[in-house]
Amino acid sequence: MADIVLAGGALEADLFAARQQMALSLGFHIILASLGVGFPVFLLIAHWRAVYRADRDAARLARRWLRAFSILFAVGAVTGTILSFELGILWPGLMGTFGDVWGLPFAIEGIAFFLEAIFLGLYLYGRTRFPPKVHLLVGLPIPVAGVASAWFVVTANAWMNQPAGFDIETYLRTGRVEDVDPLAAMFNPATPVQTTHMILAAIMVAGYLTASVYARGWLRGRRDRYHRLGFLIPFVVASVIAPVQVVVGDWAARFLAENQPVKLAALEGVFETASGVPLTIGGVVVGEEIRFGLEIPKGLSLLAFGDPDAVVLGLDQVPPEDRPPVGVVRTSFQLMVAAGFTLVGLGLWAGIAGLRRRLPDSRLFWWGAVASGPLAVVALETGWIVTEVGRQPWIVYEVMRVSEAVTSAPGIRYGYYVLIVVYAVLTVATIVALRRLREEAG
């Protein structure tokens, strides 16, 4: 394999390593980035209760969550820095060609990140120095900056799915990037749906991961008001967002039907163009068919276009070399949907019990709440697999292939091996730090 040379002079082994290194970095960082977006929301809700309701348990939560968030923010800053370097080191064909087009959101994201870091520093510094209400106000910019940071980064990824802000026809014909408009690139057609989907997902991940810690404590008999509040604040916020995310997911699917039909065909396993295409739930990809799935007649045509007889483009309309790996994309999509609806169901269960002003007393519910954190992460990671792998073989949709963007420098795979070690150490260190924090809190 290492002797097969691809376009741009990159060895196949190095192309594979570059893609795996980027996948590892993104997969690791996206969890921390999600906590950076959502965790301050819960922290400030607890802080508000402490200030305006004189809630001592909420005050304890706010202090503990602030320390936890500080640890997670620091680790996220490290992994985010690694990612920024990887873009230039691993994909010089992309950055060198289109840097002027899509570089603006990265610059603004840097400003948002520093604002978040500055206000987090002030928030930490002012805990015992500022009056309570002033201290709360100082914390308000933290989640705003976190959301802004996520929004600008995701606009860059949205551009990779729907390139804009330059003359595409001229580039495809001559290889020159002309008529550059960075604002048009940032506000490309995919930006509204993709940024909304990601920000809601981030809050859900942060909410369910936090709630799962207190759900585990509940199962171990820690049923005091402190643990009850620690569970309810993040769980309620995440559970309110979960059904909204389902609606946004439907919006995203309709967007794909119009703008990235090949990706839709891959994630739904549509191999032949047809009208009145069924929606297949579950099943496995075998060759060019889905086996053992549950078919809903004309369901996909109806969901994608609002017309049960609408024509859905199949993979038969695309050359084999331009097709994404259907097995990976479709399986990831099915897992994402299953995890999402499970979380919606768990929230409904808690909501019904909440009508009687109490928490569910079933151990099954609490084990589900423990699992809600990992399930939310599964939904997040598989969603990104759908987004990124579903675009293959393009790094910029229908404009530049991944093989054209990768570095020609040798030995990239060795950097991948080093990165595995680095992230393993970071993971262990983060877990140890958070566990010590839990032990100190009792």
Quick one: average pLDDT of 19-38?
Answer: 90
Query: Looking at residue 411, what DSSP letter applies?
Result: -
For residue 8, what pLDDT is reported?
43
The Cα 119–Cα 67 span in angstroms is: 14
The SS3 assignment for 112 reads helix
pLDDT in tens, 401-410: 998 888 887 7
Whether 172 has a pLDDT exceeding 50, the answer reads yes
The Cα 272–Cα 277 span in angstroms is: 9
Please give the helix or strand (H or E) that residue 395 lies within, else none.
strand 394-396
Whether 66 has a pLDDT exceeding 50, the answer reads yes
For residue 440, what pLDDT is reported?
56
Cβ count within 10 A of residue 373:
22
pLDDT in tens, 188-199: 999 999 999 999
CB burial class (10 A; 0-12, 13-18, 19+) of residue 435? exposed
Cβ count within 10 A of residue 404:
19
For residue 203, what pLDDT is reported?
95
Dihedral over Cα of 94, 97, 102, 105: its sign = positive
Tokens of 93: 């064909």
Whether 32 has a pLDDT exceeding 50, the answer reads yes
Tokens of 123: 């928030």
For residue 438, what pLDDT is reported?
65
The Cα 307–Cα 298 span in angstroms is: 9
Cβ count within 10 A of residue 137:
14
Nearest residue to 386 via CA among 281, 292, 249, 282: 249
Quick one: average pLDDT of 385-389?
Answer: 92
C-alpha dihedral (140, 144, 147, 151), degrees to nearest 10: -170
How sure is the predictor about 12, in pLDDT bands with cuts at 50, 70 and 90? low
Tokens of 352: 């019904």
Dump the DSSP string for 249-301: HHHHHHHHHHH-HHHHHHHHT--S-EESPPEEES-EEETTEEESPEEETTHHH
Q: Phi/psi zone of residue 298: left (φ > 0), alpha (ψ -120 to 50 degrees), beta?
A: left
Least reliable range by pLDDT among 5-9, 65-69, 214-218: 5-9
Quick one: average pLDDT of 293-301?
Answer: 87
C-alpha dihedral (320, 322, 328, 330), degrees to nearest 10: -90
Rg, Å, the chain Cα set? 23
Please give the helix or strand (H or E) that residue 396 lies within, else none.
strand 394-396
Whether 302 has a pLDDT exceeding 80, the answer reads yes
pLDDT in tens, 40-62: 999 999 999 999 998 899 999 99
pLDDT in tens, 229-264: 999 999 999 999 999 999 999 999 899 989 999 999
Quick one: average pLDDT of 82-109?
Answer: 88
What percent of the chain stands above pLDDT 90?
48
For residue 2, what pLDDT is reported?
33
Residue with tokens 């990779």: 160
Quick one: average pLDDT of 10-30?
Answer: 81
Q: Which residues pair with 209 in a beta bridge?
A: none
Whether 204 has a pLDDT exceeding 90, the answer reads yes
Whether 168 has a pLDDT exceeding 60, the answer reads yes
For residue 6, what pLDDT is reported?
44
How sure is the predictor about 7, in pLDDT bands with cuts at 50, 70 and 90? very low
How sure is the predictor about 207, in pLDDT bands with cuts at 50, 70 and 90? very high
The Cα 13–Cα 17 span in angstroms is: 6
Q: Where are the domains of the chain?
A: 20-273+313-441
Query: Looking at residue 11, what DSSP letter applies?
Result: B
Nearest residue to 149 via CA among 120, 114, 123, 173: 114
Give the max Cα distance, the chain: 68
Quick one: average pLDDT of 315-337?
Answer: 91
> What mean pLDDT is reported for the chain?
88
Tokens of 428: 């262990």
